[in-house]
Amino acid sequence: MPRTSERYRDARREYILDAARRAFARNGFHATSMHDLFAEAGLSSGAVYRYFAGKDEVVVAIVEDNIRQIGAMMRAVTEERADGSFGAALAAAVETIQAKHRENGLAGIGVQAWTEALRDPRIGAAFNEVLTGLRSELAEVVAHYQRTNTLPAGPSAESLASVTIAILVGYIQQLALLGPDAVADVPEALRALWPPSG
């Protein structure tokens, strides 16, 4: 019974976040109220507040989910293709971002969330924590490619992880501002920049 309840809570939480993504992608963070989120989800205020205390918590949860998915996907690609390249892992991350953007407007929501992180110290602190976790996770991925001579051993794994985040963030910004066609060839370029070793 507890496991079923936990699955239900997780599914309900994700349902609310999906509704919030749609509302934020359509109207932006500032123009979307909690009442708009209730209406988009088709739920009462009490049902939503059971999971999120306010809009800021919803924003942070969306950001955490998006960043967690990117990190997990890069790790999965690295583990599945032990002889692959860093470029292939990074291209797979970008392709995941493309798919998520088509599905729920990830890039536009991401850019909005970054501006909120500058404005709101609570969101900024949450962003800092999530990015620190992503940097640590990507540093492990980078270290794997350094050991296989796909990436240079000189720079620290942490510094190369920061560069990787900069690439992903820059890609998301271009996707949001310029549209998918403008960045359609980025995965191919990443594979060319960092081909398999040997």
Residue at 98: amino acid letter: Q
pLDDT surpasses 70 at 82: no
Token pair for 81: 């293709």
Q: What's the pLDDT at 69? A: 76
Q: What's the pLDDT at 83? A: 59
Q: What's the CA dihedral at 81, 83, 89, 90 to 10 degrees?
A: 180
**pLDDT range class, residue 183, cuts 50, 70, 90:** very high
Q: What is the mean pLDDT of the chain?
A: 87
Token pair for 167: 């690439």
**pLDDT range class, residue 85, cuts 50, 70, 90:** confident
Residue 33 near residue 45, CB atoms below 8 Å: no
List pLDDT tens digits, range 119-141. 888 888 888 888 888 899 889 88
pLDDT surpasses 80 at 170: yes
Which residue has tokens 């599905």? 103
Q: What's the pLDDT at 180? A: 95
H or E element: which one contains 48? helix 45-49
